[in-house]
Amino acid sequence: MLTLGLSIAPVFLASRYSISVPVPFLLAATLFIGGSIIMGEAFGFYERVWWWDLALHGSSAIGFGLIGFLFIFMLFEGDRFAAPPVAIAFLSFCLAVTVGSIWEIFEYAMDSIFGLNMQKSGLDDTMGDLIVNGLGAIIGAVSGYFYLSGREKRLFAPFIGQFVDANRRLYRRTKEKLRR
């Protein structure tokens, strides 16, 4: 239930703060929810498909890297000159890794307090998840770096452009600076 609540939270927050969420972001969130709750838990993919947990951790890390980039970039009001692209990308990476680490702490706490088996094989599962979280965070952060560096067609940079275009009021200084 907590995972479902956390998965749906972005839609409610977007509505509350009048943020336009492009279709690819909603599709990714829907696929993640389906992959984790329906396929993973209900149909037992976590136990039957050895890489399922790693794939979900990787995809969520990419997502948090992108969301972190968009949030940090918004704090600079879309001014790519207020902070170097590498600094914004680094902060995005740090945010995504932090979220992944907090999730691993949550899994450990649930296993310890309620006797669940969220960590599956213990340390090996946790370390694998953290490594994949780091790799996904790098992909998300590098996508943001590409966006700021004018290489908007690489990795997930096109999705960043869609979000910025749909929410211009949050990125006031962006205007034509990024379209050089």
In a domain, 179, yes or no: no
Q: Does residue 47 belong to any structural domain of this protein?
A: yes
Task: Determine the structural domain holding residue 142 and report its residue range.
Answer: 20-169
118 assigned to some structural domain: yes
| Domain contains 165 | yes
CA 155 – CA 145 distance, rounded (Å): 10
Is 175 a domain residue?
Answer: no
- Whether residue 152 is contained in a domain is answered as yes
Residue 10 belongs to some domain of the structure: no
pLDDT at 120 over 80: no
Report the mean per-residue pLDDT for the chain: 87
Rounded CA gap, 92 and 87, in Å?
Answer: 9
Whether 127 has a pLDDT exceeding 80, the answer reads yes
- The string of pLDDT tens digits covering residues 22-57 is 989 888 988 988 898 889 888 999 889 999 999 999
Write the pLDDT tens digit of every residue in 152-174: 888 999 999 999 999 988 887 65
Identify the residue whose tokens are 């479902």. 4
What is the C-alpha separation between 63 and 40, in angstroms, rounded? 18
Q: Give the pLDDT score at 57.
A: 92
What is the per-residue pLDDT across 90-119, written as a single tens digit (0 to 9) for each?
999 999 999 999 999 998 999 999 998 888
pLDDT of 175 higher than 70: no
Question: Is 2 within the bounds of a domain?
Answer: no
**Assigned token pair, 161:** 């452009």
Identify the pLDDT of residue 89: 94
What confidence score (pLDDT) does residue 131 get?
96
**Cα separations (Å) of 119 from 54, 80, 93, 103, 124?**
12, 40, 23, 11, 9
Q: What pTM does this model have? A: 0.84
CA distance 77 to 30: 29
Task: Render pLDDT for 130-142 as a digit per residue (tens, 0 to 9).
Answer: 999 999 999 999 9
Number of domains forming the structure of the chain: 1
